[in-house]
């Protein structure tokens, strides 16, 4: 250090790798004294450094040779390290933590090898602590601002990107990032293979979508209401789609309004007499003779408005009167009269809305839910009327093929079997029919896919695969075809993202069209989740639908 000022202790605390070569004899004596004051059951190896400013209060410490604990680190509990391990400034290590050799832990990272229980019988601060411990293998690099939670094992040779939250074990050689952390590739692959490249692409897409979600929501806020896209009219569905997107990607309500104001506005959309929600500025829905509506925005608002309120922790303020008062015989008569032959999609949409209204009535207004026997009548009718050759309801046509039937099947089963947690009839035959429809070039192919048509194939394949106990990734029924279809659709869907704008719905006679907007974004985000799950890759997305397109039943399996 000739001609230069001798580094002081503060300098070494922040740059401990310099200590072995640059420290004076006096500083080395001081460091031995520092190590002797660590306390607990401590053994510190050769050529180690423990910063004066580090808060090191272990019950048991085994610090391997050539390792250091840098400035302002916080170490408690039981820490065991191999050789050449580094805890950089502001690292927190608590609980039972074991590091292999050659481990690098970036600044501000936390390894939390303990937890609290959280039973509801006492405050959290009075709960007992638990500790499964954290194990980190050899040759691991953990970036800055990472959190590793209790019970996790990180295999040898892993690299974890800055800001990751590691909640699950990572196998050896994994490169991982994200919140929650997800594998991106194998560190040994100079050029990632197909599956890893696919995971990497999904992870980048999800990170992009999360980062741009605030701009997408702001773009579709006209200063007072949500619109599907700039220049469009404000609608109930646009507000609901905004809530779904924010919940999915941000885990919070859209920032344009407080949570309370979101609930207030959405609740006000429901007519207290009928329990239905007209379009903003539109006329009140006129119920049919049996008390429920047959078409129009009010049908879909039963789904979108109900689930938006649910995501906000609220409920429909009023029961849906037509569902509450309809008798079993009236319901059967209505089912018999739906246009199954010429309009199976509309018939399925009506069943979806009626069953979803029954769900809200039962959940939110149990005393005014549904008339006795109506749900039994609904499911009994559906089970006995399903075509045993296709598992579906309705008939194909020369003009549209199976389009109406498959799209109607999705809507019908979404609101009934999927939402109520019951098994669909003839699942193998459904998958046969859906895959046959997916080959129809009139509805699928370059420039023809839209969100409705792709979702209405992906969800039935997913639902039936789950019921059969094996998704395509597990070698289930017709798994190779399903996987190939899902791979193709996923590869086609991701490039449709428009930066700062989201997804367009897509071409077709229905829907808002190809311009990016809230409806297209909400639907394609759900579609991508289902496609990824068919391929076993949802962990790389880091999001999970909880609204209209949620994969889990909304009710405990059964009718009541």
Strand 141-142 to 104-105 pairing: parallel
426 is an active site residue: no
CA-CA distances (angstroms) from residue 333 to 290, 328, 338, 347, 389? 10, 9, 9, 13, 25
* Contact by Cβ (8 Å): 53, 13: yes
Alpha carbon of 25 to those of 4, 21, 34, 195: distances in Å? 17, 11, 14, 55
Q: What 3-state DSSP class applies to 146?
A: coil
Are the CB atoms for 168 and 147 separated by under 8 Å? no
Q: CA 24 to CA 46: how far, in whole Å?
A: 17
User: Among residues 386, 387, 361, which one has the least CA distance to residue 374?
Assistant: 361
Beta strand 174-177 pairing with 159-160: parallel
Q: Which of 116, 301, 443, 459 is catalytic?
A: 116
Q: Are 51 and 32 in contact (CB under 8 A)?
A: no
- DSSP classification of residue 180: T
Residue whose C-alpha is closest to residue 99's, from 55, 47, 148, 54: 148
- DSSP 3-state of 369: coil
Residues with Cβ < 8 Å from 133, sequence gap 6 or more?
Answer: 95, 96, 97, 98, 113, 150, 151
Q: Which residues are catalytic?
A: 116
């Amino acid at each position: 250090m000739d001609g230069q000022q001798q580094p002081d202790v503060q300098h070494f605390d922040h740059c401990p790798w310099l200590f072995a070569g640059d420290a004076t004899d006096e500083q080395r004596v001081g460091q031995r004294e520092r190590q002797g004051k660590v306390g607990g059951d401590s053994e510190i190896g050769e050529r180690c450094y423990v910063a004066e400013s580090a808060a090191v209060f272990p019950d048991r410490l085994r610090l391997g040779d050539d390792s250091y604990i840098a400035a302002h680190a916080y170490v408690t509990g039981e820490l065991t390290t191999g050789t050449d391990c580094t805890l950089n400034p502001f690292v927190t290590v608590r609980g039972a933590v074991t590091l292999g050799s050659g481990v690098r832990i970036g600044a501000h990272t936390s390894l939390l090898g303990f937890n609290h229980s959280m039973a509801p019988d006492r405050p959290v601060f009075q709960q007992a602590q638990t500790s499964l411990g954290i194990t980190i293998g050899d040759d691991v690099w953990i970036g800055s601002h990472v959190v590793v939670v209790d019970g996790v094992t990180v295999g040898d040779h892993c690299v974890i990107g800055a800001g990751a939250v590691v909640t699950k074990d990572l196998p050896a050689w994994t490169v991982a990032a994200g919140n929650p952390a997800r594998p991106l590739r194998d560190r040994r692959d100079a050029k990632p293979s197909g599956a890893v490249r696919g995971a990497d692409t999904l992870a980048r897409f999800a990170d992009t979508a999360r980062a741009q979600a605030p701009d997408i929501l702001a773009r579709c806020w006209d200063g007072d209401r949500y619109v599907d896209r700039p220049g469009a009219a404000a609608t109930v569905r646009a507000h609901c789609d905004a809530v779904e997107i924010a919940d999915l990607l941000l885990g919070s309500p859209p920032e344009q309004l407080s949570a309370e104001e979101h609930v207030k506005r959405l609740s006000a959309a429901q007519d207290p007499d009928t329990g239905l929600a007209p379009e903003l500025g539109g006329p009140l829905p006129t119920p049919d003779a049996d008390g429920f509506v047959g078409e129009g925005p009010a049908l879909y608002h039963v789904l979108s408005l109900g689930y938006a309120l649910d995501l906000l922790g609220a409920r429909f303020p009023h029961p849906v009167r037509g569902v509450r008062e309809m008798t079993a015989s009236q319901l059967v008569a209505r089912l018999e009269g739906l246009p199954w032959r010429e309009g199976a999609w509309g018939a399925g949409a009506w069943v979806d809305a009626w069953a979803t209204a029954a769900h809200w009535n039962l959940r939110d207004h149990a005393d005014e839910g549904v008339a006795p026997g109506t749900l039994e009548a609904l499911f009994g009718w559906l089970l006995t009327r399903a075509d045993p050759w296709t598992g579906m309801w309705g008939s194909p046509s020369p003009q549209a093929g199976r389009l109406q039937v498959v799209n109607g099947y999705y809507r019908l089963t979404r609101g009934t079997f999927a939402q109520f947690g019951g098994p669909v009839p003839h699942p193998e035959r459904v998958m046969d029919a859906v895959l046959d429809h997916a080959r129809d070039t009139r509805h699928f192919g370059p420039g023809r896919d839209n969100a409705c048509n792709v979702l209405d194939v992906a969800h039935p394949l997913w639902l039936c695969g789950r019921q059969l106990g094996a998704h395509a990734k597990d070698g289930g029924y017709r798994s190779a075809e399903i996987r190939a279809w899902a791979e193709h659709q996923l590869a086609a869907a991701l490039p449709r993202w428009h930066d700062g704008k989201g997804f367009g719905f897509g071409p077709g006679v229905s829907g808002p069209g190809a311009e990016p907007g809230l409806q297209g974004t909400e639907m394609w985000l759900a579609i991508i989740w289902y496609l990824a799950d068919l391929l076993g890759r949802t962990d790389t997305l880091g999001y999970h639908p909880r609204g209209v397109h949620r994969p889990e039943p909304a009710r405990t399996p059964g009718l009541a």
